[in-house]
Amino acid sequence: MNANYQAIDAVVNIWTEEALRLRPGWTDSFFIEKMKGKHDSGGIALEVMLKSMDEADIEKGFLVAAKAGRVGLPGCYHMPLEIVASAVEKYPQRFCGLCGIDPFMGMDGVRQLEDAVKNMGFIGAHLYPHWYDLEPHAAKYYPFYAKCIELGVPIQIQVGQSLIYSTEHRTRSVGRPIYLDQIACDLPELKLIGTHVGIPWTGEMIAMAWKHENVYLCTDAHSPKYWPQELVQYINSYGQDKTIFATDFPVLRFKRSMDEINAFNLKPKVRKKFLRDNVIQLYGLKDSYA
């Protein structure tokens, strides 16, 4: 890593013992059977996470107060905003918060998003459309999108296939990146980030980021060494201003992800944009790094 800068991870799951108590029963089977790796079912303290970030030369992580599914339905969980806000308050130089979206909360959810940004220090929104069996261009999301524009914050939307398939909850892959096209045409001011690389429709995600000024691509949840070659080429060329780095920790671990990215030998200027500058620009964090 260039000694003059450190990376910023735009998607990190809080994995403390307290947070894990609120996650559903499929967590263990997903990480052991699907992800083929350990997941620290006893929890990962913030201090341990920070040490891992330091080893990977990652300065800051965006913690997601994730909402996955409607309350009361099997497999659902809503990570309380307060848990993420507490972590950010404890380590303000290392963490920022993203507010999860549940479209079935209606205006109560919109007001919660506004309160999270205005009064709790959250810097953006986050959405798992698969959990709601509802494509991201559905009408129920639009009040949240409008509020993001009003607040001046981006929203991360998981695109590509759904990674969750468990006995508790089977989710259809409703997040085709092409659906972002309608949203961006309807709401060109909205800052949209397609996460999870868009696999298996990475080409669609690249096309959306190329077409729309305020659509960006985030590279979390899929190991860099398995990224489609077209994505690596995009990051290293005409997509250098439209891509941001993330892990979706603990789905991916910090050091391994950084090592695999280093193996690409990205152009130095491109690498800095991808790992740091683009997310600072997108989230309006320039004042924090003045």
**pLDDT digits over 203-224, tens only?**
999 999 999 999 999 999 999 9
Q: What is the DSSP string of 24-52?
A: -THHHHIIIIIS-S---TT---HHHHHHH
Q: Is the pLDDT of residue 275 over 70?
A: yes
Is the backbone of residue 247 left (phi > 0), alpha (psi -120 to 50) or beta?
A: alpha
Alpha-carbon distance 137 to 53, whole Å? 35
Percent of the chain with pLDDT over 70: 90
Alpha-carbon distance 229 to 206, whole Å? 12
Residue 290 has a pLDDT of 52
Q: Torsions phi, psi of 95, nearest 5?
A: -130, 150
Region 40-49: mean pLDDT is: 88
Which CATH number does 7-289 carry?
3.20.20.140
pLDDT tens digits along 63-100? 999 998 888 777 788 999 999 999 999 999 999 999 99
User: Which class for 60: exposed (0-12), middle (13-18), buried (19 or more C-beta within 10 A)?
Assistant: buried
Taking a C-beta distance cutoff of 8 angstroms, is the pair 31, 39 a contact?
A: yes
pTM for the model stands at 0.94
Residue 206 has a pLDDT of 98
Q: Is the pLDDT of residue 25 over 90?
A: no
Taking a C-beta distance cutoff of 8 angstroms, is the pair 26, 168 a contact?
A: yes
Region 2-9: mean pLDDT is: 85
Residue 171 has a pLDDT of 78
**Spans of all domains in the chain:** 7-289
Q: How far is CA 61 from CA 56, 176, 226, 259, in A?
A: 12, 26, 23, 17
Q: Torsions phi, psi of 28, nearest 5?
A: -60, -50
Region 175-192: mean pLDDT is: 97
Q: Is the pLDDT of residue 279 over 90?
A: yes
Residue 173 has a pLDDT of 81
Alpha-carbon distance 82 to 119, whole Å? 12
Residue 288 has a pLDDT of 74
How wide is the angle at C-alpha 197 spanned by C-alphas 139 and 3, nearest 5°? 125
